[in-house]
Structures are given as structure tokens and as C-alpha cells.
Chains A and B, each alone.
Chain A
Amino acid sequence: MNKLPLNYKFALLWLVVILCSLFLLVQQTLLTKHLPIETNILALLPKDSSNPFAEQAFTQISDQLNNKVLLMIGGTNKKQVFAAAPYFEKGLKSLDMFSSVSGNISAQQQQSWGDLYFPVRAQLLTNKQKQRLTNHPHSQIQRVLSQVYNPFSGVTGKELKKDPFLLFREYISDKAQGANKLHLEQGYLTASDHGLFYIVLHGQLNASPYNVNLQKKLSQLTQLEQQVESKFQVKISHAGTLFYASYGTKSAKNEISTIGVGSMIGSILLLLFFYRSALPIMLALLSVFCGLLVAFVITVLVFGKVHLFSLVFGASLIGVSIDYAFHYLTDRLLNEGHWDSSLALRHIFNAITLGLLTSLIGYLGLLVAPFPGLQQLSLFSIVGLISAYLTVVCWYPLLAKSASTSKKPNLTILRRWLHLWQHKQFRIYTPVILLVTALIALTQVHFNDDIHQLQAMPKNLKKQESLIQTVTGIGQKVQVLLVKEDSKALLLNRLHQVSNDFNEWKKQGYIDSYQSISNYVPTIKEQRKDYQLVKKLYSSQSIDLAKRLNFALPPSSLPNFSALTIEQFLASKASTDLRFLWLQPIHGEYSSIIVIHGLTQQKKLVKYIDHSADLIYLNKAQKISAIFKDYREHISWLLVVAYLLVSFALFFRYGLSLTFKVVFPPFVAGCLGLAITSVFGIPITIFNLLALILILGIGIDYTLFFAEQRQQETANTFLSVSLSALTTILSFGLLALSETQAIHGFGVTILTGITCAWLSSPLAMQRKTNANY
């Protein structure tokens, strides 16, 4: 008598939970400014806890590096390119995407280097000048004479008066050389290559490139580019993290909707075909909806945001959580008239509860991994599955009280397949052949933990990036070296030491170029040394020079020594684009980065850094790839443990022989899935191992139902197993269409693994098929 009210109580309780979740969902999505959806791939990854200093430094500079956008106008007609530049620049400034756009460099800006250096000119010498002034100070007079007479040199009276030995022009042109292939023309950075003329513009984004609102404005930029292209007959190329990030978001969004919609439509068609009635479809969708709803809400509550990646995988949960509904609905369909809703629940209760528990074993393992991405994914899946399960258990008996009136579907094909499994030879040879094939193919497995597989790399963007690199010499791929010391002076000294080594590396071709503050601010010691040399030059050669040039007025005398400091440099307008190299102090320590372009000998750099404690290699991608490798191995072990745990738990219920038959199909399916993925030439990553966990969790559901079926016909079980397998295949099969290699590989593994698990699941059925219990 007490049973019914209890049922209602549970149902009511669950209704309250769902209503609360709905309320939270509205609050989390409609009532906030920003959708709680994270797209930055780096957010998926663990923080570098081993080196908090490096982590903080990385945060400081990654904005600087990632927020840059490079735009290049190119064309055959130089005049058109020059006409397009100011138009484009004005358009860019009006877009509300950039905090600054540098196109035309004002006279004042051009002057800024002169303003910084000219007052301290007597303290600045190039290496060649140092040598010359030390060894042959007199030869400087010859140089001055030839330049004064030379009509191309542009020496003016004003210059000669302030810098009679013409040392400064040599210094500043030495500073200006070499960093890239650009040169200033009419205030623009220009370059030419293969008969085409180019103008380069820089933009600094006003928000993170991963900011979805900023990415939305990208279409306006594209529009502007097209407008400029057709108006001036030029071609515009661009590069920067923004374009990759936006492409990633867009393709992930597309993938979510194709996968979500695809698996939804596929599932509905399947349900319509088998159940031929609206109620089962509504019920199945209800459980899926509740699963996704609670999963989303709880994940946002715990993590603050849901990563797109978790959502992509989460979308495929539709195929898993619907399984519980299938077993219930199939029971209803096949028992027709003499069917009782609470009895039906009891028929399947053991099987779906065991199925849920085994799935949870797999996901819980991921939850303890200190990997935010995996934690989110597993939390999302665990909550989603439990909610779908609870929806079936609490609501279904009340919502679907009446027996089914639809016609039974034709199960001939399923019966034939089951019949095959009755043959002893088939039961033994099929799994053995599958296993042997899989094991042979598994020798082809190769692992690749490169994080770049996570990012979709469209060819068009890569092409533009490499064009910009050839034309300007500015590459997007840089290596970042962090140098830290206790004081500013020590740091500057150390930067100079490293620069000396890198100058040598440049000559040897190990690197293309590098950017370091030390190239712009000499140490105080060096400045004093240079000042002494110049002072000596003035005192020993001034009279001779005055005689040779017949000076009427004496030139200005040597300015007083006044050290050029790092603070002065950072405060100057000249350092605008270089300031990011010098970091804010972290825990009282000073640090600066050196940006290396075109590194060819990575091993050499790693070895160089290993020798000194004050140098840190900020290679996030490599570090993350290493972490991926760690976790891939970690998950491999977890998988073994999960299989053992599940087997151990099942042993008490089923005994040795049946446990083996329950566990073997998902095992062989996992091996085969991995093997076929490798045969397709797809490298195995952490994500393929995640797929194996899913294959275990889902595949064991199938065999469990066969093991648990006692009162039913095996064909009924196989029908619901087939339905869930087909929906899973539908959803994960669509993942295999993903452009992102890692997700694509995941899809292929799941697709093949689940197919194998489904078709071999009858191994676990009880031999006496129509036994009456």
C-alpha cells in the first residue's frame, strides 16, 4: 500500500530538482551578459603548478602576444596600396575591436627614437665604432669628410654642429637594421616581394582573442577587408591568434549543432520506426533533455563555465543517456496488453542500475585527474547520466502507465543474428578472430601528444600567415625565453650576456632573429666605457677635424654623461611596441623575456637553458604536450584498473564464466576500435583513450542486459541494445566528421568500437534462450 505514495514522492522530488535546474539555467544564460561558455583551449589544461613564477609570467605576456593582429595590404600598383592604407586604417579604428591600430607612424613617433637616444649619443657606440675609436681614432675624420662631401649622405649643417664626428647616424641606422624586412615609407611600414608592394598595419585587440563577443565582430572586419580590396584593387592578408580562435569557436559551434541535431533527428527517426507512436519519443526526449539540463547547470555551478569541448562531448551524451529509456520502452512495446508499468521498471531496474554504475566507474576515474578539461567532461557526463537514469526511474512508470497499442516491429534480422550466436563454433571463433585481428593491427599504433591537434588549422589562414612571414620576416611562431634576476641592473647584465650568445647563434643560423630589451639599452658600465672612448676622440681629433672642414663656429662640445636607464626607455614613446618584453615584478623578482624568431635548433636552446637556473623556457605548447603524454599514460592505467574493478564486482554476481562473457565484448571492441583508428593513420592521443573508457561503459551495458535477461526473450533485449547502439553510433559517427583531428580520431574509435561491442554483445546471453524463470 505504501509503494504508490513513495513512487509519487520520488517523482515529485525529481520534479522539484528539474524545476530548480530550469530556473538556474535561465539565470545562467538569459539573465547574464556573457554566456558561461569557455572557448580558450588553454582553459582546458592544468596550470603549471610546478613553476608558479613561469605561470604568472606567461599570463603577463600571453595577452601581449595573443592580442596582436597583423594586417597586410598588397598590390602591384604602389599608388593604390598607399591610397588603401589610410582608408583601411580609418576603417579599422572605427570597428571597436582594437585598443590601438598602428598604421601611419606620425612624425613625432618617428622622432621618438631620436628623442630617446640623441641626448645620450656620446654613450652609445656600435661594436664597429668601438673598435674603430679604440684602434684608429683618426680614421673617423676621413669618414666624416667623405660623408660631408657625399651628396647622397644627407648630412646637414645642423647635424654636423651637434654631432661633428657623425657617430649617431651610424648608431641609429645600425639599431634600425635587421629585425625584419620592413622599411618606412611615407610613414608606413612597407615591404616588397616578387614584384608586389605591401604595407603592414598592426592592431592591438581590446579584449582577449578568445572573447566570443570580440569574435562576433570579426565579420565586420572581413567586410571592411573586402570593401578595401575591391575599392583599391588590392589583396589583404591577416594573421593573429584571433583568427584561429574564432575559426575554432565557429567550427566547434557548427560541430555541436550538426552532431546535436544529427543525433537527435537520427534518434527520432529510429524511435518512430520501431515504436510507431508519439509517447515513447516524448519520453525518450524528456530523459535526454533532463540529462543535458542538469549536467549543464551543475557544471556551470561547479566550474563557473562550461568549455565548448565538454559541450561537444556532452552533445554525444544524447546517445548514451537515451539507453535507459529504450530498455523501458522496449519492454512496454513487446509485452503489449499484459503489461504493468511498475512491474516493467522492476524488470529492467537491475540491468540499468548496473549499467549506470559501470559507466560511473569509468567517468569517476577522470574526475580525480587534475585536468580541468577532463574533470568538466566527466562531471558533465556523470551528472547527465544520473539525471537521465533518474528520469526513467522516477517518472516513466507514472507517465507511461498504459500498455503499448502499437504493432510489434519485425525482428527477423535481429533473430537471425542471435541465432548465429547459438552455434558453438561461431561463439568461439568470432571473438577470437576479432581479437587476433585487433592485436595484429595494434602493432601499427603510434602516439602523438601534440596539443596542436586540438586546434583546427584551416589552410587559408596558414597560407596568409606564411605569406606575411615571407614578405615581412615577421613570423607568428615564436619561442619565449624568460630571464629573471633579483635586481634591474643584474637583469640587464644577464640579458646582455644572453644576447651575446644569441648574436653568435644568429651567425650560425640557429635562429633568425630575437628581440631583447638589451639591444636597446646598454648597461651602465658599457655606456661609461663608450663615453670615455668618445671623450678621447673629441679631445684628440677635434682640432684636426675643424681644420679639415674649415669650421667658422666650433661644434657643440661633448654632452655630459647621464646614464640611459631602463626606466627612461620604458617611459619613452619609442618603446611602445617593446615594453611587453619587460615584466612587472613577480614576488620581488625582476624578469624580462627574449622573443626568438625562427628557431631551428630546439635541442640547443633546451640544453642552453638547462645550464642556468635563471633562464626559463616558456613553451606552453610543449609543456602541455608533455602533460598530455603523462595523462595518456595515466588514463591507460586507469583503464586497466577500471576493467579489473568491473570484473571484480561482476564476479560476485555472475561467477567466472559469465563475468568473462560480459567483459570480453567491450574489451575486444576497445582493442578493435583503437586498431582501426591506427590503420586509418590517425595518431592515438589521450582522447582515443577516453573513447575506450566510453566503449567500456557503454559496451558493458549491452552485455549486462543479455546477462540480466531472464524473463524476456533475447530478441527483446537485442532490440533495445540495437536501438541504443544505433543512436550512439549516430551521434559519435558524426564526431568523426569533425575538422579537429583529436575529435575526429575520437569519433572513429568510438564508431568502430561501439559497432563491435553491439554486434558481439550476444556472447553474454544465457544459453537456454526461452527458459522460464
Chain B
Amino acid sequence: MIILLIKKRMAILCLLFSCSCSAQVITFKSLQAALTAYPLVRGKYTQQKTLKMFKQPLRSSGHFLLSGTQGLQWSQMQPFPVSLVLTKDKLSQQFSNAPPQIISVKNQPLVFYFSHLFLSVFKGDMTALSTQFKMQLKGDNKNWYLSLMPRNAPLNKVFKQINVSGGNYIEQLLLIELSGDTTKITFSNQHSTPSKLTKHEQATFKL
């Protein structure tokens, strides 16, 4: 009886010990906290679109800037330069020399539907995502995998699943369509400093 009790205590101690020295089990709450920990994240990306109707995957790359409060700047450099700016209620697209095309959520709510979803994934806005997806989270805070299964139309008519993975930052985003076509975005070189927007970046957000 006494031995059993001691064994049980040791087991508990072991558990406690193992927890404190390795990475913590990830929860939706801690993931959201981790992804919103930095006010600014800058980095590079490569995107690979694998569609059945293409002979070979469509590749593009560039850099991005995510601001927790302002939105997202997405600058594609290859194969042609184009910059996208997504804020709470506006989306602008600008080719190198041409004037930007700006659309607002008020005028075209449909366009924003998908864009905002993308932004929620990026920002780790679990509350917003939970209304649209069934979510599964695996791993620990150094290495986590989040899979999102769309709950309702129109998303479930298009996507089978969206997989996100990462550690301190998002590292990969994989969109799997019902048809089997995929879009994979890999992020690299992410850093959270400098933590303030430059004047130019600030101006870019003002659409």
C-alpha cells in the first residue's frame, strides 16, 4: 500500500519534471498568444501553386510584412513585381509603375471574404477561425501543426483542408482544394525587429 503510494508520487514528480524541461504542449490559447506576441513580423516567402492544369507548378517569391494592428503587406518580386496591401476594410494591388487598384469591403464584400480568412490564419486569430473551421492542433510550442477543416459553404465547396505549421512564427501554409490542387507557401527569415514601421511602410498602409 505504502509502496504503491510512493510510486504514484514519483510518477507525478516525473511528470512534473518532464514537463518543465521539454517544450510545452500547445493549446489554441497559447498558439494565439505566440502568434500575436510580436507587433510586427517581417520575412520572406516562396509560393508554389500545383494545379493539374499546369505543366509544372507555378512558383513565386517575395517578402512580407505583418502588422498586428494595421494588416499585411505582400510584395511579390518573382516572376514579376506586384505589391498587395490588405487592411481591415481595403485591398490594394499595385504593379510596378501603374497606379494602385483599391477596392473596399463596402463595395465588394465577396472579394474580402477569402482575403480576411487568409489574414486570420496568418495572424493566428483562433476566435475568428473557430467560427468557420473545425480545428485540430498537434505538437508543442516549438513545433506545431494546425489543420483547419471548413464547416460551411462556400468554403467547404472549395477547400478540403488548410494546414498551417510553425514554431515561434508560421513556417508553412498549405491549402488543399477538393480537386487535389494545392497552394503551398513557405516562410523564411522571419524577424520581429525593428518593431516599428518605417515611414514608407506606414504610408503604404494608408490607402
A565 at the interface (CB under 8 A from B): no
The answer to whether residues A150 and B54 also contact, given A173-B110, A177-B108 and a CB cut-off of 8 A, is no
* B54, A550: Cβ atoms closer than 8 Å: yes
Select the stretch in A3-11, A153-161, A334-342, A752-760 that faces chain B: A153-161
Q: How far is the CB of B193 from chain A (nearest CB, A)?
A: 25
B153 proximity list for chain A (CB < 8 A): 106-107, 110-111, 187
* A549, B58: Cβ atoms closer than 8 Å: yes
Q: How far is the CB of B15 from chain A (nearest CB, A)?
A: 35
Does more than half of chain B's interface fall in helix, strand or loop, or is it mixed?
mixed
* Cβ contact of B51, chosen from A110, A157, A178, cutoff 8 A: A157
* Cβ contact of A157, chosen from B91, B107, B132, B181, cutoff 8 A: B181
B54 proximity list for chain A (CB < 8 A): 549-552
A178 proximity list for chain B (CB < 8 A): 107
B56 proximity list for chain A (CB < 8 A): 550
Interface string of A126-149 (1 = CB under 8 A from B): 000000000000000010011011
**Which A-chain residue is minimally distant from B103 (CB atoms)?**
A173
The answer to whether residues A187 and B152 also contact, given A150-B93, A550-B55, A551-B53 and a CB cut-off of 8 A, is yes
Measured as residues with beta carbon below 8 angstroms from the partner, the interface class of chain A is 35 or more
Complex-state Cα separation, A154 to B86, whole angstroms: 14
The answer to whether residues A154 and B114 also contact, given A178-B107, A187-B153 and a CB cut-off of 8 A, is yes
A240 at the interface (CB under 8 A from B): no
B91 proximity list for chain A (CB < 8 A): 152
B154 proximity list for chain A (CB < 8 A): 107, 110-111
Complex-state Cα separation, A177 to B108, whole angstroms: 5
* Cβ contact of A82, chosen from B55, B119, B131, B156, cutoff 8 A: B131
* A156, B158: Cβ atoms closer than 8 Å: yes
**Which A-chain residue is minimally distant from B180 (CB atoms)?**
A157
**Which A-chain residue is minimally distant from B76 (CB atoms)?**
A149
Which residue among A79, A149, A176, A177 has the maximum number of chain B CB atoms within 10 Å of its CB?
A149
Which residue among B54, B106, B119 has the maximum number of chain A CB atoms within 10 Å of its CB?
B54
* Cβ contact of A553, chosen from B52, B106, B108, cutoff 8 A: B52
* B95, A151: Cβ atoms closer than 8 Å: no
Within 8 A of A (CB), among B155-183: 156-158, 177, 179, 181, 183
B158 proximity list for chain A (CB < 8 A): 154, 156, 158
B49 at the interface (CB under 8 A from A): yes
Within 8 A of A (CB), among B55-96: 55-56, 58, 60, 74, 76, 80, 82, 84, 86, 91, 93, 95
B185 at the interface (CB under 8 A from A): yes
* B110, A157: Cβ atoms closer than 8 Å: no
* A146, B82: Cβ atoms closer than 8 Å: yes
**Which B-chain residue is minimally distant from A142 (CB atoms)?**
B95
Complex-state Cα separation, A667 to B113, whole angstroms: 72
* A555, B53: Cβ atoms closer than 8 Å: yes
The answer to whether residues A145 and B114 also contact, given A107-B152, A156-B177, A160-B51 and a CB cut-off of 8 A, is no
* B181, A156: Cβ atoms closer than 8 Å: yes
* B177, A146: Cβ atoms closer than 8 Å: no
A17 at the interface (CB under 8 A from B): no
Within 8 A of B (CB), among A160-180: 160-161, 172-174, 176-178
Q: How far is the CB of B133 from chain A (nearest CB, A)?
A: 11
* Cβ contact of A156, chosen from B60, B113, B118, B179, cutoff 8 A: B179
What is the size, in residues, of chain B's interface with A at 8 Å between Cβ atoms? 45
Q: How far is the CB of A485 from chain B (nearest CB, A)?
A: 33
A528 at the interface (CB under 8 A from B): no
* A552, B55: Cβ atoms closer than 8 Å: yes
* B131, A186: Cβ atoms closer than 8 Å: yes
B18 at the interface (CB under 8 A from A): no
Complex-state Cα separation, A184 to B49, whole angstroms: 28
* A152, B131: Cβ atoms closer than 8 Å: no
Complex-state Cα separation, A315 to B76, whole angstroms: 81
* B111, A173: Cβ atoms closer than 8 Å: yes
A555 proximity list for chain B (CB < 8 A): 53
* A148, B49: Cβ atoms closer than 8 Å: yes
B84 proximity list for chain A (CB < 8 A): 150, 152
A535 at the interface (CB under 8 A from B): no
Complex-state Cα separation, A177 to B109, whole angstroms: 7
B132 proximity list for chain A (CB < 8 A): 186
* Cβ contact of A172, chosen from B80, B110, B156, cutoff 8 A: B110
B188 at the interface (CB under 8 A from A): no
A488 at the interface (CB under 8 A from B): no
A235 at the interface (CB under 8 A from B): no
**Which A-chain residue is minimally distant from B55 (CB atoms)?**
A552
* A176, B109: Cβ atoms closer than 8 Å: yes
Q: How far is the CB of B60 from chain A (nearest CB, A)?
A: 5
* A553, B53: Cβ atoms closer than 8 Å: yes
* A157, B58: Cβ atoms closer than 8 Å: no
A183 at the interface (CB under 8 A from B): yes
B127 proximity list for chain A (CB < 8 A): 79
* Cβ contact of A176, chosen from B55, B58, B108, cutoff 8 A: B108
A181 at the interface (CB under 8 A from B): yes
B115 at the interface (CB under 8 A from A): yes
B51 proximity list for chain A (CB < 8 A): 157, 160
Q: How far is the CB of B93 from chain A (nearest CB, A)?
A: 6
15 new A-B contacts, CB < 8 A, other than A156-B179, A157-B51, A555-B53, are A110-B153, A111-B153, A150-B82, A151-B47, A151-B185, A152-B86, A157-B177, A173-B108, A177-B107, A177-B109, A184-B113, A186-B152, A550-B56, A552-B55, A553-B52
- 23 A-B contact pairs sorted by A residue (CB < 8 Å): A78-B131, A79-B127, A82-B131, A107-B153, A107-B157, A110-B153, A110-B154, A111-B153, A146-B95, A148-B49, A148-B58, A149-B49, A149-B82, A150-B82, A151-B74, A152-B86, A152-B115, A176-B110, A178-B107, A184-B113, A187-B152, A550-B55, A551-B55
Top 8 A-B pairs ranked by shortest CB distance?
Answer: A107-B153, A154-B114, A183-B109, A157-B181, A152-B115, A157-B51, A173-B110, A552-B55
